[in-house]
Amino acid sequence: MPITERLYEKIQSALNVIVSPPVTPTISVTPSVTPSITPTATVTPTPSGTPSVTPTVTPTISITPSPGFFYLANVYTCDSFGNCGVFTGQATIYNPSSGFIIGSFYISGSTLYQPMFITTGTVGSSYLVNTSFPYNTCDEACTNLVYPSATPSVTPSVTPSPSVTPSVTPSPSA
């Protein structure tokens, strides 16, 4: 075989023998797209401070007999036997020096008054009633009105003492 041919075959076999270079993978960096997170803020308001509380003051009213108070009273009459008579209505009574006992009976003139509660009034339109003698019942007050308890009357007695009148006897003159 001629040289040329041999060369040709050699080249040919060399070409067949030559391994193609190994394939190296090429790493290309591709930026990865990460989704962006936008934080959503939820704000829950927390009350700060203390609410102001206004206290309510409730007055306590106590009714006690007191000088100069006016009272609304039931008015009664008495029959001639000392029994409680007829309810005749209501009137305003007062006493400037002391108060009345609610529910008791008081005599003024020939009328009985039973104070029920404190009220407002004026002296000109109210009846002055003595608070010295309260009675528990209407009949008790009527009995005392029709048959007043007798109080003994003391009449002083004067005993005359003897009176001495001096007597003068004239003596003779010289």
DSSP class of residue 41 equals P
112 domain residue, yes or no:
yes
165 domain residue, yes or no:
no
pLDDT for residue 82 = 84
pLDDT for residue 72 = 94
171 domain residue, yes or no:
no
pLDDT for residue 69 = 81
155 domain residue, yes or no:
no
State how far the Cα of 155 lies from the Cα of 143, in Å rounded to an integer. Answer: 27
47 domain residue, yes or no:
no
55 domain residue, yes or no:
no
Terminal Cα distance for the chain, rounded: 243
Q: Specify the 3-state DSSP secondary structure of 69.
A: coil
127 domain residue, yes or no:
yes
pLDDT for residue 141 = 92
pLDDT for residue 52 = 64
23 domain residue, yes or no:
no
Residue 134 belongs to what domain range? 70-146
Whether the model pTM is above 0.85: no
pLDDT for residue 55 = 62
Number of domains in the chain: 1
144 by Cβ neighbours in 10 Å (0-12 / 13-18 / 19+) ranks as middle
pLDDT per residue, tens digit, the chain (174 aa), is: 667 777 777 777 766 554 555 566 666 655 555 556 666 666 666 666 665 656 665 555 444 444 468 999 999 999 888 888 899 999 999 988 888 999 999 999 889 999 999 988 777 788 889 888 999 999 999 998 877 764 444 445 555 555 556 666 666 665
**Whether the Cβ atoms of residue 95 and residue 65 lie closer than 8 Å to each other:** no
State how far the Cα of 142 lies from the Cα of 136, in Å rounded to an integer. Answer: 11
